[in-house]
A and B are shown apart, each in its own frame.
Chain A
Amino acid sequence: MDRNTKDFVFSFALAALGAYFAIEGFSIYKRVAGPPFKIEKLSLSPGFLPFVLGILLVFFSVLLFISTMKGEKDFGTAFVERWKVVGKWFADASRNKEYYFTIGAVVIMFIYSYLLLSVLPFWAASLVFLVGIFLYLKAGVWWKSIIVAVAAVVLTVVIFKYCFNAALP
């Protein structure tokens, strides 16, 4: 996908985020207008800056969107064509092994950060993570991957736990 099309798609997401922020900012103002705060002016409420930021984001997203459509003679056709390009990109991406490979690595990192570290001590979680990701990335032969992982974990634990006296996860 070329940069223009990326910006085209992202401008919609940004505008939606901006609109959500503005609405949420305004609802904060509505919330604090009642007791116990009784802040009656929007400019004095804690929702004022989020409200302004939301509007600004919508404004700049529209500018970004316009910049992606610059030079297009037939706006309607160009608009539809862009979405077709996006659809084609998704279709191509679903067949691209490189994407799946990277997503796989991100999933391993996610499992380590969200699950392994919650149930295992740091050294065990890190060892499982490092061996797993080294093998997944085909960093080297399996025994070399295990040696590097063990060495890295031992060194990290010794330095942080014993030298820096830090409590590890």
Chain B
Amino acid sequence: MALQYISTAFATVFQPMNLLVMCLSTLAGLVMGMLPGLSATMAIALLTGLTYNFPTQTAIIALLSIYVGAISGGCQSAILLNIPGTPASAATALDGHPLAKQGRGGLAIFLATTSSFLGTFLSVIFVMTLTPVLTKLALKFTSWEFFLLSIFGILICGTITSTESQIKGWIAGILGLMVSMIGLDSVNTVARFSYGNVNMMSGIQLIPVMIGLFGFPEILKAFKLNNDEQVIPSSKFEAKEGFRLMGRNMVKVIRSAAIGVGVGIIPGVGEDTAGWLSYWATKSLSPEEEKKTFGSGNPRGVISVEAGNNACIGGAIIPVLSLAVPGSAPAAVLLAAFYMHGYRPGPLLMTESPSFLYNVCIYIAIASFCTWLLALVLSKGTVKILGIPKKYLMPIIYTLCVIGSYLINYNMFDVKVMFVFGIFGTLLTSLHFPAAPFLLGVILGPMCDSNLRRALNLSDGSLAPLVQRPICIFFLVLIVVMILAQLGVFKKLMGKKA
């Protein structure tokens, strides 16, 4: 059966129109990923609104392609400009830019794009094998477990994405959950926080929130930028040397891909963390002598980061498909897009639309190859885009943000929502609150609320089942331990004992 789905997916993707859409979306992703300030999340969020009128499969192909393209594209500006195009490529700049300074920018780009391709490709294997297993496990979940899973996802996302205090991450998650409370409740259709406004009664749409949250702060930032960054011209690719280096470092690629997938599966933790962890693993496992060369142009640094951050794509999609919980911020947007195009990811996915998993896998695999090819063939031309003044580019991007928000419901209210959440996103950024847990809160809010309400209705308002069901106890223990650990309770206890 699986083979039949795979062959159908191949047939779909190789239809001329879908192939063209894939190439264009990949290229758009590469360009958006390359431009500092335009993240993969923003790219997908923008395209989600624009694909509203597309046939379903074409839309899914476009969205997955732009995701893969944007994550890969970030490396080019990191290498040539020392400014990562996306946070995912932040660690690439460490060794990529010194390589470019040494006149080996072409080799660095070749290694980065090839590792990106391999990382994504390997992650697809994980998606194919792990998703059905997780889906089967998730079938044992009832409303209580789904409620706790959503809480756990928001908490762990807040814990890992906070650069300072974890409390800030949790607060961001709570604020996101609060936003999701706006509108009619799912059980009794009672209006909450809508103040008699009909638009607010139908709830706050996810896509305008995402576009505002991630796009607006970057647009404002660009208004202050002095565009005096120096772009180092890309040299020859040194393909022979590149392939030789790739062959020698296959173990590192596989290890980084495994790290990327693992990080991706954790709710809300994105490609940037995967890139840094892969880099750290490669560096710390290298011989002492080689360790000193990291940060000054070691090709292994570039290879491991790019394999890791791109493998995170597959990793982040695994919980999206099996649990309807996004593994990263771009995956969160993708989840919303899947809903918009009529798919219901989650435990019932393999029963309701079993072909979807294989479609996603094949689309990602081919998109990654397409990205590799386009990145290498067109890189000389695409890097010129880095020279476009941001003060011209960003206002144009804002008009696209307006269109992206409007096309969801053909409602000007969503444009206003985008603007308001843009201001809110700017405030969050300036106060160093992570945006990812907030977004996860908005996404998981309805799941959290409806499951809690359903569960409480079944238990006549009693919370006792939370401590009577084994999976619930498991999640509760995880949540309590995580909170206590982050608040330093265990450290204090250990200190008292000592």
Instruction: Give residues in A with beta carbon < 8 Å to B.
Output: 3, 6-7, 10, 14, 17, 21, 24, 28, 31-32, 37, 39, 41-44, 46-50, 53-54, 56-57, 60-61, 63-64, 67, 98, 101-102, 105-106, 109-110, 112-114, 117-118, 122, 126, 129-130, 133-134, 137-140, 148, 152-153, 156, 160, 164-169
Pair B53/A117 contact, Cβ less than 8 Å: no
Pair A47/B188 contact, Cβ less than 8 Å: no
Pair B192/A6 contact, Cβ less than 8 Å: no
5 nearest CB pairs, A to B: A46-B185, A139-B391, A43-B461, A41-B461, A137-B391
In angstroms, Cα B399 to Cα A152, docked, is: 9
| Those of B407-455 within 8 Å (CB) of chain A | 407, 410, 412, 415-416, 418-419, 423, 430-432, 448-449, 452-453
Pair B190/A57 contact, Cβ less than 8 Å: no
Residue from B53, B175, B220, B431 within 8 A of A57 (CB atoms): B175
B281 an interface residue at 8 Å Cβ cutoff? Answer: no
Pair B419/A109 contact, Cβ less than 8 Å: yes
User: A166-B50, A168-B403 in contact; A56/B174 too (CB < 8 A)?
Assistant: yes
Pair A169/B192 contact, Cβ less than 8 Å: no
Q: Can you spell out 5 A-B residue pairs with CB atoms less than 8 angstroms apart?
A: A49-B449, A106-B423, A122-B403, A164-B50, A166-B407
Pair B167/A53 contact, Cβ less than 8 Å: no
Which chain B residues border A42 with CB–CB below 8 Å? 461
Pair A134/B171 contact, Cβ less than 8 Å: no
Pair B171/A113 contact, Cβ less than 8 Å: no
Q: Which residue of B lies closest to A24 (CB)?
A: B193
Residue from B389, B400, B462 within 8 A of A156 (CB atoms): B400
Pair A102/B224 contact, Cβ less than 8 Å: yes
In angstroms, Cα B395 to Cα A112, docked, is: 11
Pair A28/B192 contact, Cβ less than 8 Å: yes
Pair A53/B391 contact, Cβ less than 8 Å: no
Which chain B residues border A39 with CB–CB below 8 Å? 188
Which chain B residues border A134 with CB–CB below 8 Å? 391-392, 395
Which chain B residues border A114 with CB–CB below 8 Å? 416, 419
Which chain A residues border B462 with CB–CB below 8 Å? 43
Q: Categorize the interface residue count of chain B.
A: 35 or more
Besides A44-B456, A113-B416, 20 new A-B residue pairs in contact (Cβ under 8 A), listed by A number: A28-B190, A31-B190, A42-B461, A43-B462, A46-B188, A49-B453, A53-B177, A57-B174, A60-B171, A60-B174, A109-B419, A113-B415, A113-B418, A114-B416, A129-B395, A134-B391, A140-B392, A156-B400, A166-B403, A168-B403
Say how far B224's CB is from chain A's closest CB, in angstroms: 7
User: A6-B431, A49-B448, A102-B220 in contact; A169/B395 too (CB < 8 A)?
Assistant: no
Which chain B residues border A122 with CB–CB below 8 Å? 403
Pair A169/B406 contact, Cβ less than 8 Å: yes
Instruction: Give residues in B with beta carbon < 8 Å to A.
Output: 50, 52-54, 164-165, 167-168, 170-171, 174-175, 177-178, 181, 185, 187-188, 190, 192-193, 220, 223-224, 389, 391-392, 395-396, 398-400, 402-403, 406-407, 410, 412, 415-416, 418-419, 423, 430-432, 448-449, 452-453, 456-457, 460-463, 487
User: A130-B395, A166-B50 in contact; A113/B419 too (CB < 8 A)?
Assistant: yes
Say how far B199's CB is from chain A's closest CB, in angstroms: 14
Pair A109/B398 contact, Cβ less than 8 Å: yes
Say how far A25's CB is from chain B's closest CB, in angstroms: 8
- The SS class assigned to the A binding surface is helix
In angstroms, Cα B45 to Cα A150, docked, is: 25
User: A61-B171, A134-B391, A148-B392 in contact; A44/B461 too (CB < 8 A)?
Assistant: yes
Q: Which residue of B lies closest to A37 (CB)?
A: B188
Pair B407/A126 contact, Cβ less than 8 Å: no
Which chain B residues border A169 with CB–CB below 8 Å? 402-403, 406, 412, 415
Pair B419/A64 contact, Cβ less than 8 Å: no
Which chain B residues border A50 with CB–CB below 8 Å? 178, 181, 192-193
Residue from A7, A49, A98, A109 within 8 A of B224 (CB atoms): A98
Q: Which residue of B lies closest to A40 (CB)?
A: B461
Q: Which residue of A lies closest to B418 (CB)?
A: A113
Most A CB contacts (10 A, CB to CB) among B391, B400, B415 go to B391
Which chain B residues border A7 with CB–CB below 8 Å? 165, 168, 431
User: A41-B461, A130-B395, A156-B399 in contact; A53/B178 too (CB < 8 A)?
Assistant: yes
Say how far B341's CB is from chain A's closest CB, in angstroms: 15
Residue from A49, A63, A102, A105 within 8 A of B452 (CB atoms): A49
Which chain B residues border A153 with CB–CB below 8 Å? 399
Which chain A residues border B432 with CB–CB below 8 Å? 3, 6
Residue from B54, B167, B177, B187 within 8 A of A46 (CB atoms): B187
Which chain B residues border A64 with CB–CB below 8 Å? 165, 167-168, 171
Which chain B residues border A17 with CB–CB below 8 Å? 178
Say how far A168's CB is from chain B's closest CB, in angstroms: 7
Which chain A residues border B175 with CB–CB below 8 Å? 57
In angstroms, Cα B370 to Cα A32, docked, is: 56
In angstroms, Cα B222 to Cα A105, docked, is: 11
Pair B171/A130 contact, Cβ less than 8 Å: no
Say how far B48's CB is from chain A's closest CB, in angstroms: 13
Residue from B174, B220, B402 within 8 A of A113 (CB atoms): B402
In angstroms, Cα B416 to Cα A41, docked, is: 37
Say how far B407's CB is from chain A's closest CB, in angstroms: 6
Q: Which residue of B lies closest to A153 (CB)?
A: B399
Pair B419/A67 contact, Cβ less than 8 Å: no
Pair B412/A53 contact, Cβ less than 8 Å: no
In angstroms, Cα B154 to Cα A60, docked, is: 15
In angstroms, Cα B192 to Cα A54, docked, is: 14
In angstroms, Cα B174 to Cα A139, docked, is: 39
User: A50-B193, A57-B174, A117-B415 in contact; A167/B167 too (CB < 8 A)?
Assistant: no
